[in-house]
Amino acid sequence: MSTSEFDSYRPPELATGRKKRRRGDRDGGPRNRGGRGWQNRGSDGGREMPMVEDVEFSSYYGRPIVKAPPWGHEISLYLFLGGLAGGSTLLGLGAQFTDRPGLRIATRLTAITATGIGGAALVADLGRPERFLNMLRTVKVTSPMSLGTWILSGFGMGAAVTAAIEVDRLTRQKVLPLGPLRRPLHAMETPAALESALFATPLAAYTAVLLGATAVPTWNSAGRHGLPYVFVSSAAVAAGGAAMALAPVRETGPARLLALAGAAGDLVAMWGMKKRMHPVEVEPMEAGEPGHKLHRSEKLLIAGAVGAAAVEVGARLLSKRLGASTKTRTVLRAVSAVSGVALAAASAYTRFGMLEAGIESTKDPRHVVEPQRDRLEQRRAKGITDDSITTGR
C-alpha cells in the first residue's frame, strides 16, 4: 500500500460496517426485517443513532482553507511609505501655493525618499526588478496591482522632478550638472507638482483596495467595510507627522491640521470598519502581535494628536507675542518633533498591523467558514433561497 506525507493527518479509522455486522451477529443484535443489513439503534432499541458524530470543523488534512500570501516586512514598509509619499506631496503642493519654503522642501524630499525606499522594498519582494517592469507592459483596469504599478510610476515621475528642483535650489545650482536643462526643469515645477498630486490620493488608497480584492478573510471583509478610508486617514497622519518633525513650527500649521483631521478620520473609520465586520474576522486584529500593533497605533495616534493640538495652540499664542523667549520656542519645537514622530509611527503600526492580521486570519479555518455560514443564514432568513449562493433546506 502506498503512503504519503498526508497520511499522518488522517484521523484514526473506525470499525467498518463489516466488522459491525460480525460484532452484532456475535452479540445477538437485531436484524433488519427487510434483509438489507443491520439497523443502528440506540440503547432503548427504538431510536436511530446518528451515523456521524458531531465534530469540530478544522479543514482538509488540517491544512488552511486559504493560502497565506508570501508577503513580509517589505510589503508592510511599502504600504506605509506609499501613504507617507502621497500625503507629503499634497502638503508640498499647498506649501508651494502659500509660500512656505521650509514646509515645501521638507515634504518634497520626504515624498521622493519614501517613493524610492518603497519602490525598492516592492522590487525586493518581487525578487527581480524586471518583474516590476513587466507589469508596465499592459494596463488592466480590473487589477488593483496593475493600476497600482502605473500609479506609483506616474507619481514617481512628478515627485522626482520637484525633488530635483529643490536639491538644485539647496545646493545653489552647483551640484546637479543640468547645464541648459536647468531652465526647462524649473519651468516644470508647477506642472510636475500638480501631476504628482493627481496620483497622490490613489497611491495612498489603492493598497487597501488591493488587500480587499484578495480571498484573505480579514482583508476581504475590511476592504468591503472601509479599509480605504482607514488607509487614506493613516496617510494624512503620516504626512502631517513627518512635516511636523522636519519643518519649522511657524510653517507647519497646515501639517498639524492635516494630522489632526487624519487622526480623527483614522479612529472613526477603524471603529466603523470593525463594527461592520464579522466578529470572527475582527479577531486577528484584536489578538496576538497584529492586535498589539494596532492597539499601539491607537495609543500613539491619540498621544500625537494631543501633542499636535498643543503645538497649534502654542503657535497661535506665539504669533501674537513677538517677544517670546528662545526657550519657549525650543520647547514648542521639541513637542512638535516628538508629536510628529508619534503620529508617523502610529501610521506605520496601522499598516503593519493590518497586513499581519490578514496573514494571521488564514491560519484558522474558523475565520473563513463561520462568517460564510452566518451570511448564508442571514440570506435564508430573508427568504433568499433560490439563487446560486443559497439553496433550500
- Residues 254-290 have pLDDT tens digits of 999 999 999 999 999 999 999 999 999 999 999 889 9
Closest residue by Cα to residue 152 from 126, 115, 120, 127: 115
Report the distance separating Cα 182 and Cα 176, nearest Å. 9
Report the distance separating Cα 247 and Cα 221, nearest Å. 38
Q: What is the pLDDT of residues 235-263, one digit of tens each?
A: 999 999 999 999 998 899 999 999 999 99
Amino acid sitting at position 298? E
Alpha-carbon separation of residue 54 from 12, 57, 138, 245, 374 (angstroms) = 16, 9, 51, 59, 19
Counted domains in the chain = 1
- Comparison of pLDDT for 319 and 236, the residue scoring more: 236
Kindly state whether residue 64 falls inside one of the protein's structural domains.
no
Kindly state whether residue 214 falls inside one of the protein's structural domains.
yes
Kindly state whether residue 335 falls inside one of the protein's structural domains.
yes
Written as nine digits, the cell of 116 is 524610492
pLDDT of residue 102: 93
Amino acid sitting at position 143? S
pLDDT of residue 246: 93
Written as nine digits, the cell of 67 is 493560502
**pLDDT over 90 for what percent of the chain?**
45
- Comparison of pLDDT for 236 and 121, the residue scoring more: 236
Kindly state whether residue 54 falls inside one of the protein's structural domains.
no
Kindly state whether residue 337 falls inside one of the protein's structural domains.
yes
pLDDT of residue 59: 59
Yes or no: say if 162 and 108 are a contact pair by the CB < 8 Å rule.
yes
Yes or no: say if 292 and 360 are a contact pair by the CB < 8 Å rule.
no
In DSSP notation, 102-115 reads HHHHHHHHHHHHHH
Kindly state whether residue 216 falls inside one of the protein's structural domains.
yes
Report the distance separating Cα 161 and Cα 188, nearest Å. 8
Kindly state whether residue 302 falls inside one of the protein's structural domains.
yes
28: confidence class by pLDDT, cuts 50, 70, 90: very low
pLDDT of residue 197: 92
Q: What is the pLDDT of residues 70-101, one digit of tens each?
A: 787 888 898 999 999 999 999 999 999 999 99
Mean of the per-residue pLDDT values for the chain? 82
Q: For residue 66, how many other CB atoms are within 10 A of its CB? A: 18
- State the greatest distance between any 2 C-alpha atoms of the chain, in Å, as a whole number: 107
> Among 31-45, 276-290, 294-308, where is mean pLDDT lowest?
31-45
pLDDT of residue 213: 87
292: confidence class by pLDDT, cuts 50, 70, 90: very high
Yes or no: say if 304 and 347 are a contact pair by the CB < 8 Å rule.
no
The structure's pTM equals: 0.78
Q: For residue 44, how many other CB atoms are within 10 A of its CB? A: 6
Report the distance separating Cα 258 and Cα 235, nearest Å. 10
Structural domain of 176: 73-281+296-363
Q: What is the pLDDT of residues 150-160, one digit of tens each?
A: 888 889 999 99
Long-range contacts of 284-290 (CB under 8 A, 24+ apart): 284/218, 284/357, 284/358, 284/360, 284/361, 284/367, 285/218, 285/353, 285/354, 285/357, 288/360, 289/356, 290/353, 290/354, 290/356, 290/357, 290/360
Closest residue by Cα to residue 270 from 217, 208, 213, 216: 208
Consecutive H or E run containing 251: none
> Among 188-202, 299-313, 324-338, where is mean pLDDT lowest?
324-338
Task: Answer yes or no: is pLDDT of 229 > 90.
Answer: yes
10: confidence class by pLDDT, cuts 50, 70, 90: low
pLDDT of residue 284: 92
Kindly state whether residue 222 falls inside one of the protein's structural domains.
yes
Q: What is the pLDDT of residues 16-25, one digit of tens each?
A: 544 444 444 4
- Comparison of pLDDT for 388 and 223, the residue scoring more: 223
Alpha-carbon separation of residue 362 from 213, 214, 227, 306 (angstroms) = 15, 11, 18, 36
Task: Answer yes or no: is pLDDT of 103 > 70.
Answer: yes
Report the distance separating Cα 13 and Cα 5, nearest Å. 17
pLDDT of residue 131: 76
Closest residue by Cα to residue 169 from 184, 182, 188, 155: 182
What CATH number corresponds to the domain at position 232?
1.20.1630.10
pLDDT of residue 43: 46
